[in-house]
Structure formats: C-alpha cells, structure tokens
Chains A and B, each alone.
Chain A
C-alpha cells in the first residue's frame, strides 16, 4: 500500500551501507601491514535496481567489491612491521576520493528522505478527501 515509502526506504538503506563502507575505508586509511601481507582493501558496495515492473521497486545491495590488496609501499624503517628494506604496506585509498563518495552518499540519503517525506505528505493529503 505504501510502495513509495518502501522504495525510498530501500534507497536510504543502500546509501547508509555506502556511508558505512566509506567510513570503513577512512577508518582504515592508516592501517599498516607488513610487505609480505595484504594491505587493507577498499570496500565498495554494489547497488542493484529492483525492477519496478515486478511490483516492488527500489534498490538493494547486490554485494560488496574489494579494491586491490597491493596497497602502496612506504619507506618507514622505524616501523615495527617494516621489512628488511624498511618498507611497510599502506592501503591504496585516496582520502579525497572517499570524501567525495561520502558527500554523494549523504546527499543521496537526504534525497531519499525528501522523497519519503513528500510521499507521506501526499498520502496524508489524499486522506483529507475522506474528512470533513
């Protein structure tokens, strides 16, 4: 009955998951690993449309993709994890890119909230027909 609300809700869920992924990436941006291990892999969510014609619209998380585990080698000979040549592995995550994604996720979340609010207002306006 309230498809508009459920569809907006699915969009909000996806954008929240996206924000979670970005937060995870930013939280681990300085996570160092030794050169014989893998660096922290960037988290990316994959969104998938739920076909509108099937009766249920909206979007869902199809899964997660991971970036390269190769990272970038940084010369830090004082680091406890440094190898014999003094290198450690940092995750290959760009903070600027993550910030851009964070803004996109936040704006998407807000846009879905706005459409949710409009749908509610529309339903309530329709209810006014039965009053008075």
Chain B
C-alpha cells in the first residue's frame, strides 16, 4: 500500500534542491524552462488584451446601436456574445491561477 508513495523519487523535482537557502529562492524563478514559464503569463496577458479589444469593439457597436448607426443587429449581438464568453474565460483562468496560488500557500512548511 505504501510502496507506491515511497516510489516517488525526489530527483524528478530539481527545483526543490535549489530551495536550500534564501539565496536559492531567487534561483527557483528562472529554474523552469522559459517557454513554460511565460506560457501561463503570456496566455493570461494575451487573453486580457484580446478581451480588451473585444470589449471596446462591443462598446463601439453599442454606441452605434444607441445612435441609430448600427447597420447589422447581429454584429452587435455577436460582439456582445464574444465579449461575454471572453470575459468568462479570463475570469475562469484567473480563478484557476488564484486557486493554484492559495493551494501552494496552504502548503505546510
């Protein structure tokens, strides 16, 4: 029963070895491969940027609808739908990130 747990080898987590002292903390940050490190941050920033542009195009169409300049009803509806789904997505990603952070913070030291 306990043997699989004992089977976990620490060397698969090289980052832990770097946590030897306070100086090691700094080295933990660049330790993961740069690609995977930017991965999440880049995805989040990209999603936020995209959300910003979707929101602004939606706002633009909302103004057009209010002023009577809107030519296509569905354009506004699609933009609103896109903005809403994008917001939902960014919020979900944010929640996941916060969840992961609190999970790590809850880790007994």
Contacts and interface: CB of A to CB of B under 8 A. Distances in A.
Contacts, number: 40
Q: What is the interface of chain B mostly: helix, strand, loop, or mixed?
A: helix
Interface string B61-101: 00000000000101100100110011011001101100000
B82 A5 contact: yes
Interface of B: 50, 72, 74-75, 78, 81-82, 85-86, 88-89, 92-93, 95-96
Contact of B92 (A1, A2, A8, A130): A130
A21 interface: no
Nearest to A9: B78
Contact of B89 (A9, A12, A127): A127
Chain A interface helix/strand/loop/mixed: helix
Nearest to B94: A130
A98 interface: no
